Amino acid sequence: MAHDWHKLTKITQGKPITVERVRMADSDIAIEGSFTLPPLANLSAEDQVFVMAFVRCHGSIKEMEEMFGISYPTVKNRINRIARQLEFVEIVDVSPAEEVIGELERGEISAEEAIRRLSK
């Protein structure tokens, strides 16, 4: 299967693709629809291998240098290039009061419920 994925990434040349059919490996069950691939699956096969190696090395650039026979700046440049291809979700801390107001604005709770929660 990994070899098939490598062929697919060569064919698509890095362009976004949508999967339309998924079949369970050990059964005849198939699901059809429009499925977007996770960000890591959109990387080239070579970049996917690099990311997997980086995780297995626990983020050690020194180990990556040894494993791939490349210099520190080359490892850093490749990590930075791959990182630019991945969208990251920014995590923002929201206070409990802001969360209550957000729920009220979205119509998820009533004004009475918002007042009750904010009074605590």
Dump pLDDT digits (tens) for 13-67.
767 777 888 888 888 899 998 888 788 888 888 999 999 999 999 999 999 999 9
CATH architecture observed for domain 2-85: Orthogonal Bundle (1.10)
Question: What does the block give as tokens for 106?
Answer: 């979205």
What's the whole-model pTM score?
0.56
Q: Report pLDDT digits (tens) over 71-88.
A: 999 999 999 999 988 877
CB–CB of 98/104 below 8 Å? no
Q: Where are the domains of the chain?
A: 2-85, 92-120
